[in-house]
A and B are shown apart, each in its own frame.
Chain A
Amino acid sequence: EVQLVESGGGLIQPGGSLRLSCAASGFTVSRNYMSWVRQAPGKGLECVSVIYGGSGTYYADSVKGRFTISRDNSKNTLYLQMNSLRAEDTAVYYCARVVVPAASSSLWFDSWGQGTLVTVSS
């Protein structure tokens, strides 16, 4: 059974840093594309980062230069390092497994964690 468990969220002051973790089980993180998707209070879904096969990455403009996605294959865990946090980064952050079928021009998220809340406030 695929499981994703996020941790590391909390209350942080503007300008501060946090590292989110996503422990995976039931599949191998290194063999899959993985993503972080966030949801601000009362708002919709926003994909903030994707890590592709190898070392390729994608970042939304809103977080580029401040957030870094990575994975530890030995721990089967995905991370999101968040620096220079702003009030507008306040959201629930979900870890999600990405499906990209071979020879496909599409991508979707087939498994999600329960989310971890990040609150940026003084």
Chain B
Amino acid sequence: SYVLTQPPSVSVAPGKTARITCGGNNIGSKSVHWYQQKPGQAPVLVTYYDSDRPSGIPERFSGSNSGNTATLTISRVEAGDEADYYCQVWYSSSNHPVVFGGGTKLTVL
């Protein structure tokens, strides 16, 4: 089965840029989607198709994907961005096609 690897935690100061990575074999050939989950709340889609944003998601959230790593970038980080972030792909060749990364806890210092 396909595996997505995320760092357990990332820390960043307010106003700085946070980068959360998602590693997978040739992940650049797939579309990557990112979700934000705040404590006690449901996940929220923040980017899809690597870098598109749903309506209502600030432009500070952006994504990229190449080679074996996809990255969610959060610019001008705010305290309200503190959350868990999950990457996800659809791996149609697998018996388990919906794959989530293990999640990254973003801490705003």
Contact = CB atoms under 8 A, between A and B. Distances in A.
A112 B44 CA distance: 7
Given A44-B101, A50-B98, A106 B43 contact: no
A115 B38 CA distance: 13
Contacts of B109: none
Given A45-B103, A94-B42, A109 B96 contact: no
B92 A108 contact: no
B2 interface: no
A38 to B, nearest CB: 11
Contacts of A35: 98
B86 A58 contact: no
Contacts of B35: 45, 109
Contacts, number: 60
B96 A60 contact: yes
Interface in B25-69: 30-31, 33, 35, 41-45, 48-49, 54
Nearest to A6: B42
A47 B97 CA distance: 9
Interface residues of A, number: 23
Contact of B33 (A58, A60, A108): A108
Nearest to A4: B42
A47 B98 contact: yes
B98 A107 contact: yes
B90 A112 contact: no
B100 A99 contact: no
Interface of A: 35, 37, 44-47, 50, 58, 60-61, 94, 99, 104-110, 112-115
17 contacts: A44-B100, A45-B100, A50-B98, A58-B98, A60-B96, A104-B31, A105-B30, A105-B92, A107-B98, A108-B31, A108-B33, A108-B48, A108-B88, A108-B90, A109-B33, A112-B42, A113-B42
